[in-house]
Chains A and B, each alone.
Chain A
Amino acid sequence: MDGIFLQQMVNGLTLGSVYGLIAIGYTMVYGIIGMINFAHGEVYMVSAYLAAIGLAVLSFFGVESFSFLILGTLIFTIIVTGVYGLVIERIAYKPLRNSTRLAPLISAIGMSLILQNYVQLSQGARQQGVPTLLEGSLRFTVGSGFVQLTYTKLFILAAAFVGMAALTYLIQYTTLGRMCRAVQQDRKMASILGINTDRIISSVFIIGAAMAALAGVLITMNYGTFDFYAGFIIGIKAFTAAVLGGIGSLPGAMLGGLILGVAESQFAGMVNSDYKDVFSFSLLVLILIFRPQGLLGRPHVTKV
């Protein structure tokens, strides 16, 4: 247990918590309507642009303090990204609600291409960047080495934790959450009991988009750079995290994200970064061989 190991742990956890936030969008949508929303990575990408726009507008109006800046940007990004989530669901998925299962999958891929190209055309193909918002870092001496924890990373860990806690509360303890769980268990029964299932499905898309928006703001803060293609790789990683943790399961998505992030970082640190993706996907294969439902997923039972 030395400084390097701990530093890789920190790297992995920050990366993993962001994967987890995005994975939530995949897993919730899958849980409720049984489809993979391939446009979700692009929703994250849109939110990265929105975060930069929010920051620019707020700084233009002379907002200097970090907490106001980030709070304002967060609220703005979450609301607008939520609207994106809602609109995407209305346009691309709702009309296909009762068609074959493949149809919404194809329209999801189409949606993802539309979003990519729309952002590329409207914002330009250039790399976008934002300056560092939160300067400075903590440094702990561990054995012969040290662990460097930038304030940005600390903020990401804290914000991701708060975001996940708020989501857990929402799903477990509120009426909306109870309705979401009811629709997930049995959509027809829920609608017989008077739940407006279409509205619940829409809110799930909004919640997923809001989580992606949180991730978008955090990543933009941390790496300071993004482009219209940024959603692709991270979307695939987050989807992997959702499957790893058991698709359909919320705690599974968070756990899957953290495991994936830490596994990548530790492997890159100890062995070789050329093969880190090979390693994380081998891990996924292994877990799926022994637990096909994922780590925390419920086994699929055919109802008779």
Chain B
Amino acid sequence: MSGKAKTYLVSATLAATLVSGVVHADVVIGVAGPMTGTYAAYGDQMWRGASAAADEINSSGGINGEKIRLVKGDDVCDPKQAVAVANRLIDSDKVSAVVGHFCSSSTIPANEIYADAGVISMTPAATNPQVTERGLPTVFRNCGRDDQQGTVAGDYIADVLKAKRVVLIHDKDTYGQGLVDATKIELNKKGVKEVLYEGLTRGEKDFNSLVTKVRALNADVVYFGGLHPEAGPLVRQLREQGVTAKFVSGDGVVNDEMLGAAGGPKYVDGVLMTFGKDPRNSSAGKAVIEKFRTSGYEPEGFTLYSYTSVQALAAAFSATKGTNGEKAAQWLKSHPVPTAMGIKEWDSKGDLKVSDYVMYQWGSDGKYKQL
């Protein structure tokens, strides 16, 4: 084959690929979160939720006749990785929307990239206020905010537990520290001054020195802002050193893996945490939840949040007859969307109009339920 013929062949193939790319104009939605790594359990919840929603929408005709195709983005909850993933989703996967990310520290930098490209993004889990406080028009949040969550936790600690000596521990991450700060503000407002405010290191397993300190302070509540890989060993070491203080945390430990991380029901018994009203109790999502359960998967934690994120994005695209991020964002901010978690409405910042944080408690049977 001569050099010229080769060139023709290459350009013909290229042209064919380009054309076929146009013909199969799927609506590509990125699902970005910790698909691997220590927090992979949450990425799994996100992926399962989003996939189920995409299947459901595709089987009933798709968006404006086009099918949804999901692509995975793995950020390992690492902000640097999140930026790389965001760029890849925009540049090579050409996504029209993104469901993600999970960790606040990843969501904040990644959102900037989506917003610059005019791509609409919705996080099912990142609760740090900064996610929606930067005036990015195409950023949405399908869960509550840490200031709301912290208020609920602070009120509960001050009013229901009537705690006098509160220890605040965070994991030095955007989410964990932000949550602890929000709780601290509410506690201080109620006249409860914390006796200790300290951070631990993500990835470590030995918190005994911190635990001894907590023990010496005679705390009656330990409030932790962080995720289950650290919360588990922390609560276990507290109990092993004989600290009986109530352990309270946020939506970072809403996961059956908390049980494994802590080493059994004996240690998680009585652990309290704030989370949105259990979406599994909503009547709107009954059919969806049944479907998950018959497939052998319990839609816990953030599964339904991801499911409804895809639903909301699809609804916005259908209503605006296209995949323009800005138009879809404007539509979402002015129209209520019926979802598997009931009707959802977003305000002008992209936050949910109604937050529904409630307190949950782990029992001695190794399961958690709403109080």
Residues of A within 8 A of B (CB): 4, 7-8, 11-12, 14-15, 120, 124-132, 137, 139, 145, 148, 150, 219, 223-227, 229-230, 232-233, 264-266, 268-269, 272-274, 276-277
Contacts and interface: CB of A to CB of B under 8 A. Distances in A.
Contacts of B260: 126-129, 225
A144 to B, nearest CB: 10
B236 interface: yes
Contact of A125 (B40, B204, B206, B208): B40
24 contacts: A7-B212, A14-B208, A125-B41, A127-B38, A127-B229, A127-B261, A132-B266, A137-B240, A145-B216, A148-B242, A219-B205, A223-B206, A223-B236, A224-B264, A229-B38, A229-B203, A232-B203, A233-B203, A233-B204, A264-B209, A265-B208, A266-B209, A273-B213, A276-B209
Interface string B179-209: 0000000000000000000111101111111
A129 B198 contact: no
B205 A225 contact: yes
B261 A129 contact: yes
Interface string B221-242: 0000000110011001100111
A269 B38 contact: no
A127 B228 contact: yes
Contacts of B212: 4, 7-8, 11, 265, 269
Interface in B129-152: none
Contacts of B208: 11, 14-15, 265
A270 B221 CA distance: 21
Sort chain B's interface into a size bin.
35 or more
Given A15-B208, A274-B198, A131 B263 contact: yes
Contact of A273 (B38, B41, B200): B200
B36 interface: yes
Given A225-B232, A227-B229, A273 B210 contact: yes
Contacts of A264: 209
Contacts of B38: 125, 127, 227, 229
Nearest to B259: A129
B146 to A, nearest CB: 20
A228 to B, nearest CB: 9
B219 to A, nearest CB: 14
Contacts of B201: 233, 277
B264 A131 contact: yes
Contacts of B215: 4, 7
Given A125-B37, A127-B38, A269-B213, A223 B257 contact: no
A150 B250 CA distance: 29
Nearest to B258: A127
Contacts of A148: 240-242
B232 A127 contact: yes
Interface string B17-42: 00000000000000000001110110
Interface of B: 36-38, 40-41, 172, 198-201, 203-210, 212-213, 215-216, 228-229, 232-233, 236-237, 240-242, 257, 259-264, 266
B263 A130 contact: yes
Nearest to A223: B205
Contacts of A269: 209, 212-213
A180 to B, nearest CB: 31
B80 to A, nearest CB: 16
Contacts of B228: 127
A123 to B, nearest CB: 12
Nearest to A274: B199
B213 A132 contact: no
Contacts of A137: 240, 242
Question: Which of A120, A129, A264, A265 gathers the greatest number of chain B CB atoms within 10 Å?
Answer: A129
Nearest to A5: B212
A120 B36 contact: yes
A137 B206 CA distance: 18
A273 B171 CA distance: 11
Nearest to B37: A125
A18 to B, nearest CB: 9
Identify which of A145, A223, A269, A277 gathers the most chain B CB atoms within 10 Å of its CB.
A223
A225 B172 CA distance: 21
Return the 3 tightest CB-CB contacts between A and B, nearest first: A129-B260, A224-B263, A125-B40
A224 B229 CA distance: 11
Contact of B210 (A127, A132, A266, A268): A268
Contacts of B242: 137, 139, 148
Nearest to B202: A233
Contacts of B204: 233
B233 A268 contact: no
A126 B236 CA distance: 18
A127 B205 CA distance: 12
B140 to A, nearest CB: 28
A274 B240 CA distance: 22
Nearest to A18: B206
A148 B263 CA distance: 19
A229 B209 contact: no
Contacts of B237: 223
B199 A273 contact: yes
A274 B236 CA distance: 20
Contacts of A125: 36-38, 40-41
A127 B261 CA distance: 6
A15 B172 contact: no
A266 B212 CA distance: 10
A132 B209 contact: no
Contacts of A219: 205
Contact of A4 (B40, B207, B216): B216
A268 B214 CA distance: 11
A14 B211 CA distance: 15
Given A128-B260, A223-B205, 12 more contacts: A8-B209, A127-B41, A127-B229, A127-B261, A129-B259, A129-B264, A223-B237, A223-B263, A225-B205, A227-B38, A227-B229, A230-B205
For B199, B201, B213, B259, the residue with the greatest tally of chain A CB atoms inside 10 Å of its CB is B213
A139 B264 CA distance: 23
